[in-house]
């Protein structure tokens, strides 16, 4: 006996909590990857990141309604189409925003914060005017709901598995784009030395625009995936923004590996504490720990030395 | 000392006089007590904006957590007022009379010890200044000593604001939770809800604001203020010249915190309650925008910025409730993109040359050029 | 004195007006106009409210922007519908109601500020509004200082009884006790897991629930609160699975709801199997829109109104509501309570024969409404409503089936002895 539980119960606690932590980890990675690219690689603070996620969620919602009405046979698979469209929508909006706003502000990183905060207000009101103030329900195909029983007490939620798989695919995709493609090389070259990169013939403006678009596009996919586990409403994006920034900063800006490591640390800490403490205190303690560690090690877990 | 007079240049003394006349004479005469009370509330945000001008415009440190200090100041004041409102006679229907109502609802049967000192007004006033300053010192010391700055500092202050909000809401037995501390009535027996009290509080608030403005200006023109600007522009050079940059930053952060806290305390007095919704991320960022609209480099701008944005918010939400977020968002973007130095920048670039020209046309001898100390 | 003045003929016309309001507007209009003649403004308005010979101004004060807009929209719609119906039937004392709508912006000082504007500048005769406890607490001192009248629609934690507020939603004991009695009696529940968003309403409600459960000698196996807006519930769902309670008692609000129910379903807890059974007091039809009916099916809700109530009043109300605001709209408990506000005010004004706040207040206790969509309600001395408590069983289409209602009206008891 351990506390109130028998050994077998204790084992299932460990298994299920471990799994809950992994789901949370995937969620954090999905949220943070797009931001890590934008913030880490470009130094731009995108406060509207949450709203880009919600754009993805609304695209998914539209897809689910349209497909149910016009193409019910396709319904079980619509989610993949929805994610692709979510990426396209967020990517396009991201490119547009970069062109209209961000490119004028590269020299003033703190100002991007204010401008994108303004953008987030505009987007929120836009969603509210178009989709209404209420949350919308996204209907999911049956195969994505429910769970797999591993043993009598251990059950694994399917949508959790789906999010984990998706996260892995996207993380690998980002890795290949950033570290194995010639485009990624250009991005990294621009990050390390913008002037030199320009001098050797890299179109730095185009690289910036595409990087920003990619970050936003990933946010769109994340938002699309989150319709499985969260709510879709005009202000839902705000719920994610602090967590997302902390994950990125804690990992050390500029390091995608760092982002993943920090998402892992924070998610495990939070889900463990949530199990042993009540919800609110767990959240406070997690945030406090993160802030505390950041005060001791301000550059985050992993950091690159970038010449500014 | 700047050449053109004590504290301000001649031109700035003119602006100062206009502002003082506007706050102390024009406003009270032009609007009724209800609107005046609203203006008083907006002016409490101006304290925070002044703090931000020192911190952000002066020191280049952007804090997205000034709501923390505004809130702490406000809560200190609210605790005092709540204790005064919770006399055993007024709370006799409670199971434990004499403690604040929200404690009773949460089955707390005795006043927590850390509430006790707030029976004293003197202690409360000291606490309004010292508690936020101490908090700022802890955050500042940890961050600036390790040379955390810029974006990191902004995000960490934001996280601290989030933590504090969750804590206040979660510990509702001690803090009033999400409702905040409400139903505040009297200050030492003086009913703060009457029209005459609102009028007096407005003037106290306006005078304090003017006092803080003068204090902030004296800091800016001091040697310290110039070092701060040097730090903002070339931190390394200041450090290599042998100054301890971190200590300066900590000091200015604490000062901005204390100023914000005064605003918070005046807010509680004028509005009659305090709640965690002023501590969090959203109000903190809104306060930054007040300073940005006014002009992040201008103390006068900060006050006008706070007044204008809030007045616009009230008007927009009265006439087009569903559209005001568009307007607010647009304002943020416009200020950053088109007017990075805010109202003060507009005045300096467009209004002043216009008047200078007009003046030159009237009087043959052209006025001597003023040093631009407003920077 | 003045509340005794209405003649018996007025009383009859008021009754018939109330009875006919929803179903036969024409007849009611005729009666109301006839009775309203000959009441000069100087008589019905002695305190300088915004009442003219032909109009009376009232305020609507809800959040149209910000996070609370999601919830408050329905209340605004219901209040506007009620006011339009009242105007169509001849108004109040022969005066048409004019609405001044203000936006609280989900921001509590804004609520206080707008409340003050409505009372001081617009001098409205009555205000319908507020949703969260925090906004009500913020405006309360304003209403008490300037002597206004607020009709507050939300089910809430109680612990309050203001002379300036009529609470048209249920207070906590009304909503909770009957629900728990029902699961214990009908479903044989022995153990409960209490869960809530972290603020005063869920905490106070769970406190009352816990006391009631423990009084019966049953067990509370867990009690937890999560910050507003929390979206990750896997850990607590694991805890629930381990503790195996008979009932999950959930008081989660806002966006967290969606996350909680989706994750609950994904974790393999099928609520239709009722093992454990889920009982909520916070999810109305409005919230199900966001959660999705398929994620909520099988859950039980304990409140006073469901859109599917089969009585005639409700059918007329739902039809009128859909006609005005569109066919896709759903109506939840709070929306219905908001709809009662203008009607209760009208009844009180007509009983008092005056718009004066003090007279309306004196006239209010004892006011009954037989046309309420939820059935019959009556204002208690403590300004809350006597009302029945009902249990609904969630269907896949987002509606509730009524499975139980209390035989008698529940007495409102905002300061429950022994439950604090």
DSSP C168-188: -S-BHHHHHHHHHHHHHHHH-
For chain A, give every domain's residue range: 18-239
Exposed / middle / buried, residue C223 (Cβ in 10 Å: 0-12, 13-18, 19+): middle
**Rg of the Cα trace of chain C?**
21
Chain A residues in contact with B325 (beta carbon < 8 A): 121-122, 124-125, 128
Round to whole Å and give the CA distance between C344 and C341: 5
Neighbours of B341 (CB within 10 A): 20
Round to whole Å and give the CA distance between C420 and C405: 26
For residue B374, the model assigns a pLDDT of 42
Judged against a pLDDT cut of 80, whether residue A12 lies above it is answered with no
Overall average pLDDT of the B172-190 stretch: 88
Helix and strand element counts for chain B (H, E)? 17, 2
Looking at CA atoms only, how far is residue C66 from chain A in angstroms? 8
For residue A5, the model assigns a pLDDT of 66
b or e along A55-75 (b: 16 or more beta carbons within 10 Å of the residue's beta carbon)? bbbbbbbbbbeebeeeeeeee
Architecture of domain C172-303+390-405 in CATH? Answer: 3-Layer(aba) Sandwich (3.40)
Residue pair A266/A246 in contact by the 8 Å Cβ criterion: yes
For residue A179, the model assigns a pLDDT of 87
For residue C419, the model assigns a pLDDT of 66
- Please measure the distance between the N-terminal and C-terminal CA atoms of chain A and give it in whole angstroms: 57
For residue B320, the model assigns a pLDDT of 73
Round to whole Å and give the CA distance between B36 and B52: 24
Dump pLDDT digits (tens) for B271-309.
Answer: 888 989 888 888 898 899 899 888 888 999 999 999 998
Are A17 and C225 an interchain contact pair (Cβ–Cβ within 8 Å)? no
Dump pLDDT digits (tens) for A211-259.
Answer: 999 999 999 999 998 888 877 888 888 878 878 888 888 887 667 888 8
Report the range of poorest mean pLDDT among B343-352, B363-372, C243-252. Answer: B363-372
Are C289 and A153 an interchain contact pair (Cβ–Cβ within 8 Å)? no
**Shortest CB distance from A155 goes to which of C73, C267, C295?**
C267
For residue C51, the model assigns a pLDDT of 93
Q: Count the helix, strand and coil residues of chain C and give each as a percent rounded to the nearest 5.
A: 45, 20, 35
The kind and range of the H/E element at C46 are none
Check: complex ipTM more than 0.95? no
Dump pLDDT digits (tens) for A104-130.
Answer: 888 887 788 888 989 998 999 899 888
Instruction: Tell me, yes or no, if B273 comes closer than 8 A to chain C by beta carbon.
Output: yes
For residue A4, the model assigns a pLDDT of 62
The kind and range of the H/E element at C222 are strand C219-226
Instruction: Tell me, yes or no, if B337 comes closer than 8 A to chain A by beta carbon.
Output: yes
CA distances from B119 to B122, B168, B268 (A): 9, 21, 16
Between residues A7 and A116, the one the model is more confident about:
A116
Round to whole Å and give the CA distance between A213 and A191: 16
Confidence band (pLDDT; 50, 70, 90) for B322?
Answer: low
Q: B118 in the Ramachandran plot: left (φ > 0), alpha (ψ -120 to 50) or beta?
A: alpha
SS3 C57: strand
For residue C25, the model assigns a pLDDT of 43
Round to whole Å and give the CA distance between B261 and B67: 9
Residue pair C293/C396 in contact by the 8 Å Cβ criterion: yes
**Residue spans in chain C of domains classed CATH 3.40.50.2300:** 2-170+311-322+333-386, 172-303+390-405
Q: Are strands C277-280 and C247-251 parallel, antiparallel or unpaired?
A: parallel
Residue pair B260/B51 in contact by the 8 Å Cβ criterion: yes
Probe site for chain C from A58, A228, A230 (most C CB atoms < 10 A): A230
Are A137 and C236 an interchain contact pair (Cβ–Cβ within 8 Å)? no
Q: Are strands C385-386 and C375-379 parallel, antiparallel or unpaired?
A: antiparallel
Between residues C279 and B352, the one the model is more confident about:
C279
Nearest to C49 by CA among C288, C360, C308, C315: C360
The kind and range of the H/E element at B82 are helix B66-85
Chain B residues in contact with C204 (beta carbon < 8 A): 105
Probe site for chain C from A144, A235, A286 (most C CB atoms < 10 A): A235
Overall average pLDDT of the A160-174 stretch: 91
Between residues A305 and A280, the one the model is more confident about:
A280
Cis peptide before A286 (omega within 30 of 0): no
Residue C283, token pair as written in the block: 């999810």
Overall average pLDDT of the B168-196 stretch: 88
Nearest to B300 by CA among B10, B40, B12: B12
Round to whole Å and give the CA distance between C14 and B348: 67
Instruction: Tell me, yes or no, if C267 comes closer than 8 A to chain A by beta carbon.
Output: yes
Q: What is the DSSP letter of B113?
A: G
Q: Which residue has the tokens 């309050």?
A: C160
CA B82 to chain centre: 23
For residue B364, the model assigns a pLDDT of 57
For residue C8, the model assigns a pLDDT of 39
For residue B193, the model assigns a pLDDT of 86
Round to whole Å and give the CA distance between C392 and C415: 26
Confidence band (pLDDT; 50, 70, 90) for B372?
Answer: very low
Q: Which residue has the tokens 């039980």?
A: C300
Q: C158 in the Ramachandran plot: left (φ > 0), alpha (ψ -120 to 50) or beta?
A: left
Dump pLDDT digits (tens) for B144-168.
Answer: 887 777 778 888 888 889 889 888 9
Chain B contact partners (≥3 CB pairs within 8 A): A, C
Those of residues 237-296 in A touching chain C at CB distance below 8 A are 238-240, 270-271, 274-275, 278-280, 283
Looking at CA atoms only, how far is residue A54 from chain C in angstroms? 13
Q: C273 in the Ramachandran plot: left (φ > 0), alpha (ψ -120 to 50) or beta?
A: alpha
Judged against a pLDDT cut of 80, whether residue A13 lies above it is answered with no
Residue pair B160/A289 in contact by the 8 Å Cβ criterion: no
Instruction: Return phi, psi of residue B140, to 5°.
Output: -60, -45
Q: What is the mean pLDDT of chain B?
A: 87
For residue A129, the model assigns a pLDDT of 86
**Per-run averaged pLDDT (10 residues), chain C, 420 residues:** 39 42 42 55 89 94 80 92 95 94 85 92 95 91 93 92 94 92 93 90 90 93 86 86 91 86 86 91 89 91 95 95 92 95 95 94 94 94 95 94 93 81
Chain C contact partners (≥3 CB pairs within 8 A): A, B
For residue A253, the model assigns a pLDDT of 67
Q: Are strands A155-157 and B190-191 parallel, antiparallel or unpaired?
A: unpaired
Chain A contact partners (≥3 CB pairs within 8 A): B, C
**Fold of the domain built from segment(s) C2-170+311-322+333-386:** Rossmann fold (3.40.50)
For residue B346, the model assigns a pLDDT of 85
Nearest residue in B to C138, CA atom: B182
pTM of the model: 0.85
Judged against a pLDDT cut of 50, whether residue B21 lies above it is answered with yes
Alpha helical stretches, state H, A132-237: 158-179, 182-192, 194-199, 204-226
Dump pLDDT digits (tens) for C149-207.
Answer: 999 999 998 888 999 999 999 999 999 999 999 999 999 999 999 999 888 889 889 98
The kind and range of the H/E element at B3 are none
Judged against a pLDDT cut of 50, whether residue A98 lies above it is answered with yes
**Shortest CB distance from A288 goes to which of B56, B163, B328?**
B163
Neighbours of C312 (CB within 10 A): 11
Longest dimension (CA), chain C: 71
Judged against a pLDDT cut of 60, whether residue B366 lies above it is answered with no
Nearest to A244 by CA among A35, A88, A96, A70: A35
* Angle at which helices A204-226 and A158-179 cross, to 10°: 170
Looking at CA atoms only, how far is residue A292 from chain C in angstroms? 21
For residue A107, the model assigns a pLDDT of 80
Instruction: Tell me, yes or no, if B359 comes closer than 8 A to chain A by beta carbon.
Output: no
């Amino acid at each position: 006996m351990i506390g109130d539980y028998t050994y077998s119960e204790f084992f299932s606690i460990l298994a299920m909590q471990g799994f809950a932590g992994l789901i949370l980890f995937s969620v954090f990675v999905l949220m943070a990857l797009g931001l890590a690219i934008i913030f880490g690689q470009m130094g731009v603070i995108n406060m509207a990141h949450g709203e880009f996620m919600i754009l993805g969620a609304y695209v998914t919602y539209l897809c689910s309604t349209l497909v149910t009405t016009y193409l019910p046979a396709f319904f079980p698979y619509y989610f993949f189409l929805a994610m692709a469209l979510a990426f396209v929508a967020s990517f396009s909006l991201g490119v547009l925003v970069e062109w209209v706003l961000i490119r004028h502000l590269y020299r003033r990183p703190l100002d991007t914060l204010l401008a994108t905060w303004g953008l987030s207000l505009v987007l929120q009101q836009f969603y509210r005017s178009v989709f209404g103030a209420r949350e919308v329900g996204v209907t999911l195909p049956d195969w994505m709901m429910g769970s797999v029983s591993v043993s009598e007490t251990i059950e694994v939620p399917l949508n959790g598995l789906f999010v984990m798989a998706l996260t892995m695919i996207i993380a690998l995709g980002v890795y290949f784009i950033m570290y194995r493609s010639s485009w990624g090389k250009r991005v990294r070259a621009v990050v390390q030395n913008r002037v030199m990169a320009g001098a050797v013939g890299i179109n730095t403006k185009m690289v910036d625009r595409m990087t920003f678009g990619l970050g936003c596009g990933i946010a769109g996919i994340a938002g699309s995936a989150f319709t499985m586990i969260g709510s879709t409403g005009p202000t839902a994006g705000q719920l994610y923004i602090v967590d997302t920034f902390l994950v990125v900063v804690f990992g050390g800006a500029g390091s995608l590996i760092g982002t993943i490591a920090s998402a892992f640390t924070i998610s495990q800490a939070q889900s463990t504490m949530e199990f042993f403490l009540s919800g609110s205190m767990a959240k406070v303690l997690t945030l406090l720990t993160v802030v505390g560690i950041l005060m001791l090690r301000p550059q985050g877990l992993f950091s690159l030395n970038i010449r500014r | 000392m700047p050449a053109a007079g004590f504290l301000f240049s001649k031109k700035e003394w003119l602006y100062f006089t206009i502002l003082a006349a506007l706050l102390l004479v024009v406003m009270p005469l032009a609007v009724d007590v209800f609107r005046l009370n609203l203006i008083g509330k907006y002016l409490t945000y101006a304290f925070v904006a002044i703090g931000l001008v020192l911190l952000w415009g002066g020191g280049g440190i952007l804090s997205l957590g000034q709501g923390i200090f505004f809130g702490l100041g406000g809560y200190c004041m609210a605790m005092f007022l709540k204790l005064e409102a919770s006399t055993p006679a007024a709370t006799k229907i409670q199971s434990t009379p004499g403690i604040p109502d929200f404690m009773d609802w949460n089955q707390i049967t005795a006043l927590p010890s850390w509430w006790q000192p707030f029976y004293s007004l003197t202690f409360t006033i000291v606490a309004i200044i010292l508690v936020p300053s101490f908090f700022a010192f802890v955050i500042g010391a940890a961050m600036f000593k390790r040379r955390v700055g810029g974006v990191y500092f902004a995000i960490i202050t934001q996280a601290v604001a989030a933590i504090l909000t969750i804590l206040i809401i979660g510990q509702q037995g001690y803090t009033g939770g999400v409702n905040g501390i409400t139903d505040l009535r009297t200050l030492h027996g003086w009913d703060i809800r009457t029209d005459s009290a609102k009028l007096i509080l407005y003037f106290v608030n306006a005078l304090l604001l003017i006092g803080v403005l003068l204090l902030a200006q004296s800091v800016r023109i001091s040697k310290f203020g110039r070092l701060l600007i040097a730090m903002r522009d070339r931190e390394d050079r200041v450090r290599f010249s042998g100054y301890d940059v971190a200590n300066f930053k900590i000091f200015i952060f604490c000062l901005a915190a204390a100023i914000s806290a005064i605003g918070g305390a005046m807010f509680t007095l004028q509005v009659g309650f305090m709640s965690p919704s002023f501590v969090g991320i959203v109000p903190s960022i809104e306060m930054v925008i007040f300073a940005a609209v006014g002009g992040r480099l201008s103390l006068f701008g900060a006050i006008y910025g706070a007044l204008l944005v809030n007045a616009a918010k009230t008007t927009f939400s009265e006439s087009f409730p569903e559209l005001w977020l568009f307007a607010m968002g647009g304002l943020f973007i416009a200020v950053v993109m088109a007017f990075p130095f805010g109202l003060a920048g507009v005045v300096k670039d467009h209004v002043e040359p216009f008047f200078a020209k007009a003046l030159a046309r009237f009087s043959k001898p052209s006025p001597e050029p003023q040093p631009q100390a407003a920077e | 004195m003045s509340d005794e003045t209405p003649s018996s003929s007025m009383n009859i016309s008021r009754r018939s007006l109330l009875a006919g309001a929803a179903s036969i507007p024409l007849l009611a209009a005729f009666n109301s106009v006839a009775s309203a003649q000959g009441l000069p403004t100087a008589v019905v308005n002695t305190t300088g409210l915004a009442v003219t010979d032909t109009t009376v101004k009232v305020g609507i004060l809800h959040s149209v922007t910000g996070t609370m807009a999601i919830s408050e929209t329905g209340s605004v719609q219901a209040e506007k519908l009620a006011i339009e119906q009242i105007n169509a039937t001849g108004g109040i004392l022969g005066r048409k109601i004019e609405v001044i709508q203000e936006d609280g912006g989900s921001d509590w000082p804004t609520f206080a500020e707008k409340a003050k504007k409505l009372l001081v500048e617009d001098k409205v005769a009555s205000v319908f509004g507020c949703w969260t406890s925090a906004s009500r607490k913020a405006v309360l001192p304003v209403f008490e200082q300037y002597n206004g009248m607020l009709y507050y629609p939300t089910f809430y934690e109680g612990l309050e009884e203001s002379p300036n507020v009529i609470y048209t939603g249920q207070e906590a004991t009304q909503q909770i006790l009957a629900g728990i009695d029902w699961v214990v009696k009908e479903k044989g529940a022995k153990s409960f897991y209490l869960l809530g968003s972290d603020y005063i309403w869920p905490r106070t409600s769970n406190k009352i629930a816990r006391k009631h459960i423990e009084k019966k000698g049953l067990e509370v196996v867990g009690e937890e609160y999560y910050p507003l807006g929390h979206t990750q519930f896997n850990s607590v769902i694991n805890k629930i699975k381990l503790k195996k309670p008979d009932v999950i008692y959930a008081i989660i609000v806002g966006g967290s709801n969606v996350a909680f129910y989706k994750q609950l379903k994904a974790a393999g807890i099928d609520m239709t199997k009722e093992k454990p059974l889920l009982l909520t007091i916070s999810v109305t039809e409005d919230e199900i829109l966001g959660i999705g009916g398929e994620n909520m099916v099988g859950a039980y809700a304990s409140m006073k109104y469901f859109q599917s109530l089969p009585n005639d009043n409700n059918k007329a109300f739902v039809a009128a509501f859909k006609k005005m605001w569109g066919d896709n709209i759903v109506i939840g408990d709070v929306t219905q309570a908001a709809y009662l506000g203008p009607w209760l005010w009208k009844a009180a004004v007509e009983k008092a024969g005056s718009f004066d706040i003090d007279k309306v207040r004196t006239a209010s206790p004892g006011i009954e409404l037989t046309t309420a969509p939820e059935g019959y309600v009556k204002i208690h001395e403590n300004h809350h409503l006597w009302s029945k408590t009902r249990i609904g069983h969630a269907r896949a289409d987002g509606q509730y089936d009524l499975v139980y209602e209390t035989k008698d009206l529940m007495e409102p008891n905002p300061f429950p002895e022994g439950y604090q």
